């Protein structure tokens, strides 16, 4: 990882639109202390080449426990332009979503900078029905708390989280007839969010 991020930051760090996510979804067996140890090795390698662009660090339990990161954030040696990621999938029991938002509010109130680098309109497997109701609750929460968020995923693998139907090509990305139910929902949100009349 050190070699990889050294190479990436030395090549692309001069561009202001680069974001580094250095640890995607630490699994349930990885402790926060281990994640911190890893970050303390990788962050200096990036900062040697790129002192300013945003670095995002995964949080425990597949990047769902921002509350743990809020209790024990990295110190000022590493915290310049550092954010912590939250991942969520909307099609879970409403009580679970409520709990997730509660611990996220806890982290926000403790001053933790959060970037939602992955969310889904379906369940955590990337499949299952799209939950418009729970997704909208999350969008309302994210917007209220000024959280940036990225939807999973622009692909054609045939899961319900896929933005494109199977068989679509790169040329079809802007054509709504190739969009899945999830993509239609997300595109509708973006149209409203940015007051766009057309995505094509």
Intervals of CATH 3.20.20.80 along the chain = 2-152
Alpha-helix residue ranges (DSSP H) falling in 13-114: 32-47, 60-63, 66-71, 94-109
On the question of pLDDT at 198 being above 70, the answer is: no
167 pairs with which residues across the strands?
Answer: none
- Can you tell me the distance from the alpha carbon of 16 to that of 128, in angstroms, rounded to the nearest whole number? 37
On the question of pLDDT at 25 being above 90, the answer is: yes
8 A C-beta contact, residue 152 and residue 118: yes
Report the chain's mean pLDDT, rounded to a whole number.
Answer: 96
**57: part of which helix (H) or strand (E)?**
strand 55-57
The pTM score is: 0.93
Reply yes or no on whether 25 is catalytic.
Answer: yes
Q: Within 10 A of 152 (CB to CB), how many other CB atoms are there?
A: 20
Q: Within 10 A of 151 (CB to CB), how many other CB atoms are there?
A: 20
Position of tokens 């990161």?
Answer: 69
In which band, very low, low, confident or very high, does the pLDDT at 194 lie, cut at 50, 70 and 90? confident
Q: In the predicted model, what is the mean pLDDT of residues 167-179?
A: 96
pLDDT tens, position by position, 104-151:
999 999 999 999 999 999 999 999 999 999 999 999 999 999 999 999
- Can you tell me the distance from the alpha carbon of 133 to that of 111, in angstroms, rounded to the nearest whole number? 29
On the question of pLDDT at 64 being above 90, the answer is: yes
User: What pLDDT is stored for residue 193 in this prediction?
Assistant: 80
User: What pLDDT is stored for residue 28 in this prediction?
Assistant: 78
Reply yes or no on whether 134 is catalytic.
Answer: no
Residues ≥6 apart with Cβ < 8 Å to 76: none
Multiple choice CATH, 2-152, 3.20.20.80, 3.10.129.10, 3.50.50.60, 3.90.740.10: 3.20.20.80
Q: In the predicted model, what is the mean pLDDT of residues 55-63?
A: 98
On the question of pLDDT at 197 being above 60, the answer is: no
Q: What share of the chain is helix, strand, coil (3-state, %, to 5)?
A: 40, 10, 45
Question: Cα dihedral angle (63, 66, 69, 73), rounded to 10 degrees?
Answer: 110
**Residue tagged active-site, from 20, 23, 25, 65:** 25
8 A C-beta contact, residue 159 and residue 165: no
**Residue tagged active-site, from 21, 50, 67, 118:** 118
151 pairs with which residues across the strands?
Answer: 119
């Amino acid at each position: 990882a050190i070699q990889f991020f050294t190479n990436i930051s030395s090549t692309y760090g001069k561009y202001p639109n680069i974001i580094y996510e250095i640890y995607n979804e630490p699994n349930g067996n990885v402790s926060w202390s281990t994640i911190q140890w890893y970050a303390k090795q990788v962050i200096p390698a990036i900062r040697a080449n790129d002192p300013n662009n945003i670095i995002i660090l995964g949080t425990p339990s597949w990047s769902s426990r921002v509350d743990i990161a809020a209790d024990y954030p990295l110190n000022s040696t590493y915290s310049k332009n550092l954010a912590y990621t939250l991942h969520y999938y909307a099609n879970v029991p409403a009580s679970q979503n409520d709990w997730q938002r509660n611990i996220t509010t806890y982290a926000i109130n403790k001053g933790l900078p959060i970037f939602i680098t992955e969310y889904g309109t379906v369940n955590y497997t990337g499949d299952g029905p799209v939950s418009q109701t729970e997704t909208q609750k999350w969008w309302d929460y994210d917007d209220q708390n000024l959280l940036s968020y990225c939807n999973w995923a622009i692909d054609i693998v045939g899961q319900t989280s896929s933005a494109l139907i199977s068989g679509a090509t790169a040329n079809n990305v802007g054509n709504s007839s190739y969009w899945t139910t999830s993509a239609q929902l997300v595109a509708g949100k973006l149209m409203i969010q940015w007051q766009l009349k057309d995505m094509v």
